[in-house]
């Protein structure tokens, strides 16, 4: 069996939208592997619906994909409607993102919170596969994304980067972007990450933290110095997890 554009029917298309970049690839859902190169375009500034829709079209055309699309998005997403805008333009609030992108592409598009997507990938194919109990996916990038799973079932849109810690959003000091913003060393930044992890640990008592995002590619620079009670595993799919998770929810 093949898809409408001649690809095997186990293939799906995923887009991962972040605060700095929009990335896409074709994914083999049988294995979770990318079967094309990951293609990236900078997230437009301002990141309005029309501007992002143009980039989505370019990403899909680059891969010559004609089928439906799954899309990971850095916001609360309920039934395709955007419910927060911490790291995107506020013009997205209350917008039906499924419809915006579906209209732009002429095919069905389904949106999901970006950290939820990354967590789905790790639960399906990665370090959290077959792990019972409470698993917390945390992505450290422009902000902090979170995906909460209980016995493998997603509890969507937790957005725990916006927990209040020391009087401000936790991601203001513990996101990967904070290290560059404050010109901290890796060890200085990791002290803020540890404080954040201890805060989440105290609230949810997870059995496993899975840490992802760009910093997951160099864990030796920051993770070794963090000491908490909960087991921590580096996301095995690294920065591809959002694309793979998005492909998993393509309609």
Residue ranges of domains in the chain, CATH in brackets: 11-116+241-248 (3.30.420.40), 131-235 (3.30.420.40)
Between 70 and 141, name the one with better pLDDT.
70
pLDDT at 87: 81
**Taking residues 119-144, what's their average pLDDT?**
95
The CB density around residue 217, as the number of other CB atoms within 10 Å, is 12
Provide the whole-model pTM: 0.91
> CB neighbours of 51 closer than 8 A, spacing ≥ 6?
44
Instruction: Please check whether residue 70 is in contact with residue 249, taking contact to mean a CB–CB distance below 8 angstroms.
Output: yes
Between 60 and 20, name the one with better pLDDT.
60
**Taking residues 12-38, what's their average pLDDT?**
95
Stretch (H or E) spanning 123: helix 114-125
Rounded Cα gap, residues 30 and 181, in angstroms: 40
Q: What angle do CA 54, 121, 222 make, to 5 degrees?
A: 95
Residues 155-196 pLDDT 10s: 999 999 999 999 999 999 999 999 999 999 999 999 999 999
Rounded Cα gap, residues 4 and 18, in angstroms: 28
Strands 11-17 and 21-28: antiparallel
C-alpha to C-alpha distances, 241 to 16, 181, 229, nearest whole angstrom? 9, 25, 25
Pull the structure tokens for residue 238. 């690294």
Pull the structure tokens for residue 182. 């404050």
Closest CA to 210 of 179, 18, 219: 219
Stretch (H or E) spanning 186: helix 186-204
Rounded Cα gap, residues 248 and 101, in angstroms: 17
Residues 190-228 pLDDT 10s: 999 999 999 999 999 999 999 998 888 899 999 998 999
Q: 93 pLDDT band (50/70/90 cuts)?
A: very high
């Amino acid at each position: 069996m093949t898809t409408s554009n001649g690809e095997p029917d186990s293939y799906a298309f995923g887009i991962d939208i972040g605060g700095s970049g929009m990335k896409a690839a074709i994914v083999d859902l049988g294995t979770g592997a990318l079967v094309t190169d990951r293609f990236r375009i900078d997230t437009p500034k301002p990141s309005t619906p029309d501007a992002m829709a143009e980039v989505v079209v370019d990403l899909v055309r680059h891969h010559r994909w004609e089928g439906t699309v799954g899309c990971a998005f850095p916001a609360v997403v309920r039934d395709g409607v955007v419910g927060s805008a911490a790291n995107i333009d506020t013009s997205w609030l209350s917008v039906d993102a499924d419809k915006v992108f579906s209209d732009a592409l002429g095919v069905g598009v389904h949106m999901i919170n970006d950290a939820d997507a990354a967590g789905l990938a790790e639960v399906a194919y990665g370090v959290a596969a077959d792990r019972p109990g409470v698993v917390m996916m945390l992505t450290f990038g422009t902000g902090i994304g979170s995906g909460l799973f209980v016995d493998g079932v997603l509890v969507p849109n937790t957005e725990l980067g916006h927990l209040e810690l020391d009087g401000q959003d936790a991601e203001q000091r513990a996101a990967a972007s904070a290290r560059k913003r404050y010109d901290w060393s890796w060890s200085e930044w990791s002290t803020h990450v540890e404080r954040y992890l201890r805060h989440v640990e105290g609230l949810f008592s997870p059995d496993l933290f899975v840490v992802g995002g760009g910093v997951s590619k160099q864990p030796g620079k920051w993770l070794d110095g963090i000491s908490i009670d909960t087991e921590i595993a580096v996301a095995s799919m690294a920065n591809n997890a959002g694309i793979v998770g998005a492909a998993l929810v393509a309609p």
